[in-house]
Homo-oligomer: A and B are copies of this chain.
Amino acid sequence: MEQKELSHYLKKLREAVRRRGLKHSQQREAILKVLYNAACHLSPEQIHQEVKKECGSVGIATVYRTLAFFEQEKLVCTIFFGNEGKKYELNRGGHHDHLICIECGKIVEFFDDELEKLQERIAKDAGFELLSHQMNLYGRCRECSAVSCQRS
Contact = CB atoms under 8 A, between A and B. Distances in A.
A126 B112 CA distance: 12
A145 B119 contact: no
Contact of A137 (B101, B133, B138, B142): B133
Copies of chain A in the complex? 2
A80 to B, nearest CB: 5
Interface in A97-134: 99, 101-102, 108, 110, 112, 114-115, 118-119, 122-123, 126-134
B123 A114 contact: no
A59 interface: no
Contacts of A140: 128-129, 131
14 contacts: A99-B123, A99-B128, A110-B126, A119-B135, A127-B142, A128-B140, A128-B141, A130-B137, A130-B138, A131-B140, A132-B138, A134-B138, A135-B135, A135-B136
